Amino acid sequence: MTNLIVSLLIYALASQLEKAIIESKKKTLELNRALESEKQASAAQSQFLATMSHEIRTPLNGILGLTDVLLSHKITESARPNLEKIQRSGLSLNRILNDILDLSKLNAGKLALEIMPFDLKATSKDCVAFYAQLAQNKGISLRINVDKTLNTWVVGDATRLSQVLNNLISNAIKFTQQGSVTLVLEKRETSPTHQFVRFTITDTGEGIDLVDQTRVFDAFTQANSSINRVHGGTGLGLQIVKSLVEAMGGAVYLKSAVGEGSEFYFELPFEIADSANDVQEKDKTPLFSNLTVLVAEDNDINQVVAKSLLEDTGLKVTIANNGNEAVEIAQKQHFDLILMDLHMPEMNGSEAALALRQANITIPIIAFTAAVVVEEIDKALASGMNGYLTKPVNKIELYAMLTKYLGRETPKEGPVLPKENIQSNVDAGS
């Protein structure tokens, strides 16, 4: 009898174990299918972003680049305001593109910070000045106050900080119908080599209900469904702000009440630029006379833009219309740098870079591309490129890249740090 009971128990346990194994295999299969589906969806999303980025950024580079070239030359005073409007519209579109693509990079954990010396005061004033006309059109006062004791020359990522401030300032103006928007910079904790800076953006706008405040930093989310109909916007700005601030070592906070306006603030750590040699003169165009650059680009408008911007720095520019042509030219004559578009007929940029490396050509090759999703950049770097520059090309980023790979003609005496403290209540236009 005992043996029978034991046998039945063993049989029951074996049956349960078999069912558990079958169920486990079923769950594993479902999980694998889900993972494969997610992988395919991610790949499709990346391909879509790459295609859309390239198709939008390519003409946008022509619009912004040629506008920039025209504004840097003598033009009639009647034409300048319209060109500046075109420039502002193009930059606004570019910021939306950057937000979408940076969100993709942040989610993939592949956003890299570009750390270099910059002028914190000038960078913040530039962000405020960009929105001065928009604020004026709405009858809003737009101000910036900077702590007089703040060390304005710091080491950090000026581009990402600008992106954060641009999003917060534009957001504040959007939701403010009367009154003011103010950006305040305050020095917090400090040491001989580092300082914490608190950035506060205050507005007298609509304010945000306490219930909605927990959701405003979520992607594609706005405080309520009517906001997009009234004010527009992608709903990405504050998610980008949160992610970028965290990537730079800080956290962003919100104080708000309906009808009383809003206050967004965050603190960031910065290394203090401790000597004049650490700081580049912000507005001085670097000169690279007697140096040569090969630009591989199939779009004729982008060829004109690249050639104009590069020749303004003293570089001698040669154009290649595709990857094959770039490889042939680079093997016949010496260049100090190659700017390589990624999407070209006959041979793409990554293939051309790989061919040049296999031919033992070791000069810097920079991807010059309108497709800036993570996978595209990874592929370019794996082919032997040294870095990348995104379209629409930004003059400051272009000059920083040229300085990094070509050096620069430095003045006999290094640039002197500004000794005066910025005055409180500096107007956006000053």
Alpha-carbon gap, residue 249 to 394, rounded angstroms? 25
pLDDT at 246 over 80: yes
Percent pLDDT > 70 in the chain is 74
pLDDT at 228 over 60: no
Q: What's the CATH superfamily of 44-111+281-411?
A: Response regulator (3.40.50.2300)
The predicted-structure confidence for 350-406, as pLDDT tens digits, reads as follows 999 999 999 999 999 999 887 666 677 888 899 999 988 888 887 778 888 888 898
Residue 47, pLDDT score: 64
Residue 313, pLDDT score: 87
Strand partners, 272: 154
The predicted-structure confidence for 157-197, as pLDDT tens digits, reads as follows 988 899 999 999 999 999 999 999 999 999 998 888 899 99
> CA-based angle 358:359:364, to the nearest 5?
85
Residue 370, pLDDT score: 76
Domain covering 116-279 in this structure, CATH number = 3.30.565.10
> CA-based angle 427:429:430, to the nearest 5?
70
* N-terminal to C-terminal alpha carbon distance within the chain: 100
Residue 424, pLDDT score: 34
The predicted-structure confidence for 116-126, as pLDDT tens digits, reads as follows 888 999 999 99
Residue 231, pLDDT score: 42
Alpha-carbon gap, residue 154 to 214, rounded angstroms? 33
pLDDT at 235 over 60: no
Average pLDDT over residues 246-269: 92
Dihedral angle, C-alpha 294, 298, 301, 307, nearest 10 °: 0
Average pLDDT over residues 23-39: 70
**pLDDT mean across residues, the chain:** 79
pLDDT at 422 over 50: no
For CATH 3.40.50.2300, the residue range(s) in the chain are 44-111+281-411
pLDDT at 426 over 50: no
The answer to which of 8-17, 24-33, 248-257, 351-360 has the lowest mean pLDDT is 8-17
Residue 58, pLDDT score: 76
Alpha-carbon gap, residue 416 to 71, rounded angstroms? 28
pLDDT at 291 over 50: yes
Evaluate the CA torsion angle 191, 117, 124, 243 in order and state its sign. Answer: negative
108 vs 137: which has the higher pLDDT: 137
Residue 6, pLDDT score: 53
Q: What's the whole-model pTM score?
A: 0.62
For CATH 3.30.565.10, the residue range(s) in the chain are 116-279
